Amino acid sequence: MKRCARVVLILMATASAVTAQVGKLEPLQRALSEAVDTHDFERANHTLSKLALLVADIHLQVAIAEADTSAVAEALSAGADPNSYNAAGVSMLAAAAAQCQDTEPIVEQLLRAGADPAQGHYGGQTALEVAAQSSEGCPHVFVRHGMEVDVSSADALRAMISGIRAGDQQVVTILLDGGLDIHSLDPQHDEWSLLLHAVDAGQDQVASLLLEWGAHGETALATARASGDASLAERLEQALQLAGDSDTSRQRKQSKK
């Protein structure tokens, strides 16, 4: 099922890429034909260069849909514009960041190539905002790259949750240092706490970090038990036990000093 969904996504991206560029392709094709007919080879070479860049842009969009990091690198090397948009008005950066199951490395590639995080959608949204609206997005990558975000906003919470689930301790620390509430709850996931997300994603180190910051372990445990998810409750109990053992170990070391 997931494979079929990926194929559909690739086909849609290919159609969108062609549609987005067709308005530019037609006048260039006419210009090339006129240049050849008049033997204006300098103009023909210039037009061919522009056509090559448009093809590179199409290649880039399809490569992003395929989550093909090598193809993305090839398209960028061929001159593809990392700040180009698809037919839906979404930037390449935002498109990659909104589907981060396999594309987080591609988001990194685009940022290194000069993609502007402020460009997400023609409507004025940033790439972080577009990514935050997707259940599969990775808005935390932009926080790691220094993009400022209002820690009281829904976008910041989504960046925190995606960072937690990705095991990105750097982003978690940045947002907590910035003032994001350690006791924030996820309105899109049954009011789950940040700690529950960490345990559910198997990110034990992040769970320990959240507990160090004062996350309410017992409250999260009560929520897990109430949900009927025995496995989640068991893993949370183990995380709390590990955190307790770590605290005891630190206390012993301090007392010896």
pLDDT, block means (10 residues), the chain with 257 residues: 44 53 65 70 66 78 90 94 89 92 89 95 92 93 94 97 96 98 95 95 94 93 89 91 58 41
Q: Which domain holds residue 18?
A: 1-81
Asked if the structure places residue 69 within a domain, the reply is: yes
Q: What is the count of structural domains for the chain? A: 1
Using an 8 Å Cβ cutoff, are 32 and 25 in contact? no
Asked if the structure places residue 11 within a domain, the reply is: yes
Rounded Cα–Cα distance for residues 23 and 217 (Å): 56
Asked if the structure places residue 65 within a domain, the reply is: yes
What pLDDT, in 10s, does the model give residues 207-257?
999 999 999 999 999 988 988 889 999 999 988 988 775 543 344 333 444
**Among the residues of the chain, which ranges form H helices?**
2-37, 41-65, 69-77, 92-97, 104-112, 127-132, 140-144, 154-166, 169-177, 194-200, 204-212, 217-227, 230-256
Structure-token match 């839906």, residue found: 88
Asked if the structure places residue 63 within a domain, the reply is: yes
Looking at residue 252, its pLDDT comes to 37
Asked if the structure places residue 139 within a domain, the reply is: no
Asked if the structure places residue 142 within a domain, the reply is: no
Give the amino acid at 6: R
Asked if the structure places residue 195 within a domain, the reply is: no
Q: Is 251 exposed, middle or buried (0-12, 13-18, 19+ CB in 10 A)?
A: exposed
Looking at residue 49, its pLDDT comes to 64
Asked if the structure places residue 177 within a domain, the reply is: no
